Every structure is written in C-alpha cells, then in structure tokens.
Amino acid sequence: AAGADWSRKIENKTLDEIIGKTDFDLFPTELAIKHQNDDKFVIEKGESIELEEEHQAATGEKIIIQVIKTPFFDAKEKVFGTLGIFWDITERKHAENEIKIKNEQLIKANADKDLFMSILAHDLRSPFNSILGFLQLLSENLRSFDIDTIEEQIKLIYNSSLHTYQLLDEIL
C-alpha cells in the first residue's frame, strides 16, 4: 500500500493501474533498470539494502524516497525474491537540511563571539596593565615621591580607570 501511494504520487496513476505492473511499466527505463539492479544485488548477496532516491512527482515537486529492499526467502532459506518498503521522507530531509543550516549559523555565531571576547579581553587588559603599573610605582615610591608626583600618578590612574570604565559601559 505504501508503495502504491508512492507510485501514485510519482506517476499519477490509480491503484488499478499499478497492481500487477513492473517497474518498467511504471517508471522511465533508466529508473526501472536501477530498481532491477538493486533487486538483483539483494537476491545475489542475500542482504538488505537501504537507499534514498530523488524523484519528481507528477505535480512537478521534488520528493525524496527512502527505500529498504530485503531478500525474501523460501522454506529452504533460498532467496527467491525481494521485498521492498519505501516511504516519502521529503519533509524529514527538508527539516534535516534546515537543522544543518542552523548548526552552521550557530557555529559561525559562536566563532564570532569567541573572536569578540578575545578582542574585548585584549582591549580591557591594556588599560588594567597601565593602572596596575602606576599603582605599583606609586606604592613602591609613596614615601619618596613629592605630593605633585603623587597627584600626577593618581590623575593618570583615574583617567585610565575612567577610560576603561567607559569602554566597558559602551560594550555592555
């Protein structure tokens, strides 16, 4: 029944037009030969195969079909045919593609964020190094500096702190 629905969607045929027909009756020759070769492979190897196939429906839309073909065994465990199950996975494939696109966008956004954080860390590190350097110089020489030098150092620390604060405020 699933195959009949798929064939009707692809070929725009009624169930009566499908029953008892071969792939050569229902599909273009190239596709029918591919299906026949898939069946031969399953029969010769005695193994199942899983495929995804793109088709154009009678409406003109592109659809994607997932196919599982498995060997059909007789009572003596000899392969005498194949059993095929197939269904339309077009919506699922579209959703998978959308997820892939969103993941790529997320990876790029994450890389951009990492770059931004690296630049931010660098831009904040420099002013703090200046502040720490001036504070160290001031603390090591507090008793030997005159009041004008101390006042000059404190103004430099203040200006550097103010600049860093404004930078951080703009970022936030």
Residue ranges in the chain modelled with pLDDT below 70: 1-12
pLDDT at res. 57:
77
CA distance 142 to 121: 31
pLDDT in the model for residue 11: 58
Q: How far apart are CA 121 and CA 3, in angstroms?
A: 60
pTM of the model: 0.58
Per-residue DSSP letter, 27 = S
- The angle subtended at Cα 11 by Cα 83 and Cα 5, nearest 5°, is 50
What pLDDT is attached to residue 44?
A: 93
Tell me phi and psi for residue 165, to 5 degrees: -65, -45
